[in-house]
A and B are shown apart, each in its own frame.
Chain A
Amino acid sequence: MKLKKLGLRKLGLIAASLAALASPAVAQTVDFYHDKGNWNDAYKTVLGPAKDAVGIDVNLVPYADTSTYQAAVRAALRTPSAPGVFAWWSGYRMKDLVDAKLVTDVGEVWKKYTDAGLVSPSLASAFTFDGKIYGVPNLVAYWVVLYNKKTFAENGLEPPKTWEELEKVAATLKEKGITPFGQTIEGRWPSFIWFQELLVRSNPEFYARLMTGQAKYTDPEVTAVLKTWADWIGKGYFTDPSIAFGTSGSNAMAGQLAQGKLGMILVGTWYANTIVQSGLDAKDLGAFIMPNEKADLPKSVIFEAGPLLIASASAQKEDALKLADYWMSSKAQQAWVDAQDFPPINKDVKAKSPLIADLVKEINDGGYTSINRFWEATPPQIAEAAVDELGNFMLHPETAPQVQQNLQALADKYWATQK
């Protein structure tokens, strides 16, 4: 008899606790770390509703400086204070975290959306390692040529569809005293922008091999690219490489485009906002994908995808997965796109500006392949040092052979450690 009573009481306790667990609890907190201070308001707008929708209270932690951010997150990842969700970089920049098992597989979250046909599975490629997906898309951008429609119209120019047309546009602008292309080494990292584009436009298959160490920086394909680039620099097609790009608060490049002194800027689509803020009316800003050097090359566009990752060691892991699921939903993604004017990843989401809408349509309809950026497609140990060399090239194009040697030395040093 006593045993039965004890048993019943125990059952009662168990039932009560189960009931407590099942009922909606107080909102759980998830720490959300990122390094783009001026996006904090956008995150607040998008993630605020998560409290009511999935019971998650998001605690945003913005870091103002990127390298400090990376160091702090890396230091925290192995400890229980690891952030629930944090913004990061794709490809090789997250590979070491994946290899060290510091981030969580989010394949389940993706599956829900790809099964429903809302998200294209190919978008996960930059976050996939060994068949498993580890991040959801945060920053999405295509690298295209932004141009001033007014400047083009005034000079009777159309966005070029072939390489020859591109060269003609550049030559015409130059004749009229307008600088055709913007390029800069301000901030150190932008020097890879034209390098990657010219490589992809001439030989995308070589580019892919170069990124993974199966081709050399001293190969003739690279020599050809540097020669074209040096040619154009010599013809005065580029701005002075010291022009301000926005890293330290001044946007001279955007300003020049807005005023019609500069014709085109090769940059990520996120720069459009800056150009509009510098005085160019949004309807006067256009974009085109740079044409391939040879017509028989497949259509491709360089893209940039920054993921949100979930730390495996974090105590908030389960809630973070719920948050990631909410993040990919149409509701959250629409709010995100409205705030940032990014290309939408979710098919139910409409692009904010006509510029992006047209671009996305062209990319989808035209069957463009997406190619990952140099910055993430090759190991950071190479990329970070390579931009210094490329910057040197931009200032002194005649040193191309030496630059190629130095680049290959960097690559050799890294790939040797991987044997």
Chain B
Amino acid sequence: MSAEVGEQTALGRETRFSSALILTVFWVLPIALLVMSAMKTPIEFSSTSTLTPPSSFNLFDNIARAWAKGMASGFVNSAIYGVVASLIAVVLSAMAAYGIVRLRIPQGMFWFLLIYSGTIFPFQMYLIPLFNFYLDTGLYDTRLGVIAFYVAITIPFCVFVMRGFFLTVPWQVQEAAALDGANSWATFWRIMMPMAKAPLILLVLIQFTWIWNDLLFGLVLTKSESVRPIMVALAGMQGVYGASDGPSVIAATLVGSAPTLILFLVLQRYFVRGLTLGMGER
């Protein structure tokens, strides 16, 4: 059953549909051009305009060339970092938001602002202090160090969103659980978390995407190919000095973006339904 916000006439529906269609065509145009460029040969790329369709399908050649330059280990590393760090961060954040909003920790606003302040700082300024910190503590160039950082940097936003979500949960739910004899942990895991499935999954997606796309911190906190994430490997492929192969760089970028897109397509059914369902449905 689709909830209706207002009446829908047949004409109204068609107009809405056509305008949405036109909008999305323009919206996706830059990406479509990107895909087209990834299919061209290097010579075609430099000599034809971006709007010209490729004359032949070179996509796999370009990807193969990019892959040969060493994307495989980056892929694996980023997958590990994305999954592990986002899951840890999301769980720890949900716990923190629960403690602040539902368990009403004293000075809740202070704790919230403390964690939230992790987002207000421009990222680049973390680079050098963290670099030195990691060198001193031996976390430099280790997978553990990288994961620890990604967890830390994704926590603030997650706490922020989970706090917003927990504010919308009625107190009756908690009261009922307490009456049933459940302690805070049981309430958290068996009642709150399942209810929060939609924001939790969205957060995992968002943070996985952020971690996957990170270049700066992956670059500064690591040096070995076995530890470096994928965007670092990709960025190494382009530059003015020395021949850079436009289409294979673009192809590599597309392949590098594929996992975040696939993850989105897989997870989206948990949160794109929007207004069509109420709280009772899981």
Residues of A within 8 A of B (CB): 31, 33, 36-42, 59, 61-65, 68, 71-72, 75-76, 79, 81, 139, 187, 245-252, 254-255, 258-259, 270-271, 273-274, 276-279, 340
Contact = CB atoms under 8 A, between A and B. Distances in A.
A36 B216 CA distance: 16
B136 to A, nearest CB: 8
B185 interface: no
B135 interface: yes
A278 B237 contact: no
A249 B50 CA distance: 13
29 contacts: A38-B238, A38-B241, A39-B242, A41-B69, A59-B224, A64-B215, A64-B236, A65-B215, A65-B216, A68-B220, A71-B128, A72-B128, A72-B220, A75-B132, A76-B131, A76-B135, A79-B135, A81-B135, A81-B140, A187-B240, A246-B239, A246-B240, A247-B240, A249-B244, A251-B46, A251-B246, A276-B243, A278-B43, A279-B43
B223 A278 contact: no
Contacts of B87: none
Contacts of A274: 240, 242-244
B159 interface: no
A289 B232 CA distance: 38
Given A37-B238, A38-B239, A279 B244 contact: no
Nearest to A189: B240
Nearest to A250: B246
A273 B240 CA distance: 10
A139 B242 CA distance: 11
Given A61-B223, A259-B47, A279-B47, A37 B240 contact: no
Interface string B200-243: 00000000000000011001100110000000101111111111
Contact of B244 (A63, A68, A76, A246): A246
B131 A277 contact: no
6 shortest interchain CB distances as A-B pairs: A37-B236, A64-B235, A255-B46, A278-B46, A279-B43, A273-B243
A252 B238 contact: no
Interface string B93-136: 00000000000000000000000000000000001100110010
Contacts of A36: 239, 241-242
Contact of A245 (B223, B240, B246): B240
B146 interface: no
A62 B236 contact: yes
Contact of B236 (A33, A40, A72, A271): A40
Nearest to B240: A246
A277 B241 contact: no
B249 interface: yes
A40 B42 CA distance: 20
Contacts of B42: 277-278
A38 B237 contact: yes
- Tell me the dominant secondary structure on chain B's binding face: helix
A38 B243 contact: yes
Given A64-B215, A64-B236, A72-B220, A255 B242 contact: no
A344 to B, nearest CB: 17
B158 to A, nearest CB: 27
A321 B127 CA distance: 30
B33 to A, nearest CB: 12
B155 interface: no
B127 A273 contact: no
A193 B208 CA distance: 42
A79 B136 CA distance: 9
B137 to A, nearest CB: 12
Contact of A273 (B224, B232, B238, B242): B242
B250 interface: yes
Contacts of B234: 64
A247 B238 CA distance: 8
B46 A249 contact: no
B61 interface: no
A200 B47 CA distance: 33
A252 to B, nearest CB: 7
Contacts of A252: 46
A58 to B, nearest CB: 13
Contacts of B243: 38, 273-274, 276-277
B246 A72 contact: no
A12 B245 CA distance: 61
Contacts of A255: 46-47
A417 B127 CA distance: 28
Interface string B236-265: 111111111110011000000000000000
Contacts of A259: 47
Nearest to B50: A250
Contacts of B242: 36, 38-39, 42, 270, 273-274, 340
A235 B268 CA distance: 57
A37 B237 contact: yes
Contacts of B215: 64-65
Contacts of A279: 43, 46-47
Interface centre among B47, B131, B220, B243 (most CB of A within 10 A): B243
A65 B131 contact: no
Interface in B48-97: 69
Contact of B131 (A39, A63, A75, A271): A75
